[in-house]
């Protein structure tokens, strides 16, 4: 498994992937964090689904990490795309047969790839955290948001807690992408189905049907990133979303193990 991990890292370190990921993370975090502060006085709201987050909330110790936690859904989509593409392209490039000749244990291939991609996700989320915190300070100055409480240990704890939650959510989205990659064996199909499911199907249904979001893994992962909300607890979100993912992962792993590699 260690060999698979090392091999996968060589692929993940390629400049085209690293640079496009940095660009995507910068765009997502920049957009969400800047809108959070710049629209602080907007009657249409500055948070997800029109929620208003005022100066008094942003000035709290937790305020430093709100932009970061609000970025989690989109960061998750970036992770979903990367994990799905990295998995499914082995089929489209025909490289899976090379991998399996060099490492016949299919489970080692799968787990090694997953661990390497998790490391990639950690780097991605770390970059997002740094960017979001830096931008929060910049835009707090622009919009007269007090940053006194952001220097306290409570703020540091909140940042650490948010980092862990966003990381868990991002990795969850990534695993979802990997599952789709293994299932559809085509990056385009896996990514489009993943994005359509998360952004459109789950998003729309959750907006119109009360409490249906507690059955959707994507919505639950978003709630994990926020540390839970007033309707759905953190523990429920975490356990249910990961139960979905683990069950689906086991099914596709068995398929991957049994399926002939004939392309």
Partner 1 sequence: MSSPLALDVADLSKKYGDRMALSHANFEVPMGSICGFVGPNGSGKTTTIRMLLGLIKPTTGGGHVLGESITEPEKYLPRVGAMIEGPAFYPALTGLQNLTVLAKLGGFDVDSIQKLLEIVGLADRGDSKYKTYSLGMKQRLGIAASLLPNPKLLVLDEPTNGLDPAGIQEIRNLLRKLADAGTTVFVSSHLLSEIEMISDHLVMLRLGKVIFSGKTSELLAKQLPVIVAKPSNKDDLDKLVKIAKDNGHDAKIVDQNVHVIGAADYSAQFNKSAFDAGIILESLTPIRPSLEDTFFEMTGD
Tell me how many residues contact partner 1 (CB under 8 A): 25
Q: Which is nearer to partner 1, 14 or 49 (CB)?
A: 14
Task: Please state the closest distance from residue 144 (CB atom) to partner 1, in A.
Answer: 46
Q: Would you count residue 18 as binding partner 1 (CB under 8 A)? A: no
Q: Would you count residue 7 as binding partner 1 (CB under 8 A)? A: yes
CB 95 within 8 A of CB 152: no
Q: Kindly write out the interface string for residues 222-261 of this chain, putting x where it contacts partner 1 by CB under 8 A and - elsewhere.
A: --------------------------------------xx
Q: Which is nearer to partner 1, 99 or 128 (CB)?
A: 99
Q: Would you count residue 119 as binding partner 1 (CB under 8 A)? A: no
Task: Please state the closest distance from residue 105 (CB atom) to partner 1, in A.
Answer: 6
d(CA 218, CA 235): 15
Q: Would you count residue 22 as binding partner 1 (CB under 8 A)? A: no
Q: Which is nearer to partner 1, 43 or 104 (CB)?
A: 104
CB 198 within 8 A of CB 74: no
Q: Which is nearer to partner 1, 32 or 99 (CB)?
A: 99
User: Tokens 């249904």 map to which residue?
Assistant: 205
Task: Please state the closest distance from residue 251 (CB atom) to partner 1, in A.
Answer: 19
Which one among 29, 36, 99, 220 touches partner 1, defined by CB under 8 A?
99
Alpha helix ranges (H) inside 185-232: 187-195, 203-208, 217-225
Cα distance between the two ends of the chain:
24
Task: Please state the closest distance from residue 102 (CB atom) to partner 1, in A.
Answer: 4
Q: Is 210 exposed, middle or buried (0-12, 13-18, 19+ CB in 10 A)?
A: exposed
Q: Is 113 exposed, middle or buried (0-12, 13-18, 19+ CB in 10 A)?
A: buried
The 10 Å Cβ neighbour count of residue 56 is: 10
Q: Would you count residue 205 as binding partner 1 (CB under 8 A)? A: no
**Six token digits for residue 10:** 């060589």
Residue 91 CA: distances (Å) to CA of 185, 188, 191: 6, 12, 14
Which one among 41, 54, 102, 196 touches partner 1, defined by CB under 8 A?
102
**Six token digits for residue 152:** 């306290």
Task: Please state the closest distance from residue 22 (CB atom) to partner 1, in A.
Answer: 16
- Which residues of the chain form contacts with partner 1 (CB under 8 A)? 3-4, 6-7, 10-11, 14, 16-17, 89, 93-95, 97-105, 260-262
């Amino acid at each position: 498994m260690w060999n698979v991990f090392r091999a996968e890292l060589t692929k993940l370190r390629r400049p085209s992937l690293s640079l496009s990921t940095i660009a995507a993370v910068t765009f997502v975090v920049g957009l969400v964090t800047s809108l959070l502060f710049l629209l602080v006085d907007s009657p249409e709201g500055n948070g997800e689904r029109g929620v208003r987050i005022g100066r008094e909330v942003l000035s709290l110790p937790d305020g430093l990490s709100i932009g970061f936690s609000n970025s989690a859904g989109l960061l998750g989509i970036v992770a979903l795309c990367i994990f799905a593409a990295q998995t499914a392209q082995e089929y489209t490039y025909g490289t899976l047969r090379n991998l399996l000749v060099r490492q016949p244990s299919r489970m080692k291939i799968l787990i090694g790839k997953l661990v390497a991609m998790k490391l990639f996700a950690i780097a991605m989320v770390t970059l997002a955290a740094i960017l979001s915190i830096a931008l929060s300070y910049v835009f707090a100055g622009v919009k007269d948001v007090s940053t006194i409480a952001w220097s306290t240990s409570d703020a540091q704890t909140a940042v650490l807690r948010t980092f862990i939650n966003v990381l868990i959510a991002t990795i969850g989205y990534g695993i979802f992408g990997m599952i789709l990659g293994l299932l559809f064996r085509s990056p385009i199909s896996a990514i489009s189905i993943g994005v359509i499911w998360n952004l459109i199907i789950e998003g729309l249904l959750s907006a119109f049907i009360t409490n249906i979001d507690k059955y959707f893994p994507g919505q639950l992962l978003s709630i994990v990133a926020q540390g839970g909300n007033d309707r759905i607890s953190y523990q429920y979100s975490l356990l249910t979303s990961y139960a979905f993912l683990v069950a689906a992962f086991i099914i596709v792993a068995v398929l991957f193990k049994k399926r002939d590699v004939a392309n």
